[in-house]
Amino acid sequence: MNGTTATVQGNPVELPDNAKGDNYESFTLWRRPSGGLFAVWATRGKSNEKAVVRAAPATVDRNGFRIGRPTVRRVFAVPFPNQDEARHVSDLKVLTGGTVLVASASDPDVDDGPFSSAVYKAGRLSANNTRQAALTLKESRSLFPLRKFTRQDNRKIEAIAVLPDGQPIWGTDDENHGGSIRFDQIGRTTTPRT
């Protein structure tokens, strides 16, 4: 980075096991506390079409960044949002302990909305060695939102970040309404601050 200009270096890394028409909106890296780096990514899905979540070993060394063949491939759907074009995975993050957070969003394909979205504790990623991931995702009927934004709220969450102290941040792309960043507390009853 030089002043206000960033220069991207290196070559794009192709995601393995992708299929024609796949629409990816989420990608994250997870380092297993006892060793091993894993890439996790998902198609967003679309209403009745479930999202597909994959996990694979990854390597970063002097030769660059590489993603191996996926050792996990799971389908995933959420109960909410369930109107308009429901995107089952608009972003995902894996916490240090392996908890998988998923954001889901609904978009009526009109830039004024209304949008709706939710964040879920969707499952758990683990690994039995540095090259083999295991991913358990909850069934739709077992999912309950950690945070829910209805059409009246008009928020479309498309980014999740988690600070080192565990505080989550939701980022929205609300099209003609701009975007927002919301600091939240998972599992507490405090009001989020924007």
152-169 pLDDT, tens digit per residue, is: 999 999 999 999 888 899
Say whether pLDDT at 129 is over 90: no
Give the alpha-carbon dihedral of 26, 154, 116, 85, to 10 degrees: -80
193 confidence band (pLDDT: 50, 70, 90): very low
Say whether pLDDT at 194 is over 50: no
Looking at residue 18, its pLDDT comes to 85
Looking at residue 119, its pLDDT comes to 96
Say whether pLDDT at 106 is over 80: yes
Looking at residue 19, its pLDDT comes to 84
Tens digit of each residue's pLDDT (9 = 90 or more) over 54-94: 999 999 888 888 999 999 999 999 999 998 889 999 999 99
Contact 107, 86 (CB under 8 A): no
Indicate the pTM of the whole model: 0.87
3-state SS class at 160: strand
Looking at residue 39, its pLDDT comes to 96
In angstroms, the Cα distances linking 15 to 91, 119, 164 are 16, 25, 27
Tens digit of each residue's pLDDT (9 = 90 or more) over 130-148: 788 999 999 999 999 999 9
> Residue holding tokens 């220069």?
7
- Give the residue, 44 or 18, on which the prediction is more confident: 44
- Give the residue, 41 or 185, on which the prediction is more confident: 41
Q: For the chain, which residues make up each domain, given as ranges? A: 24-183
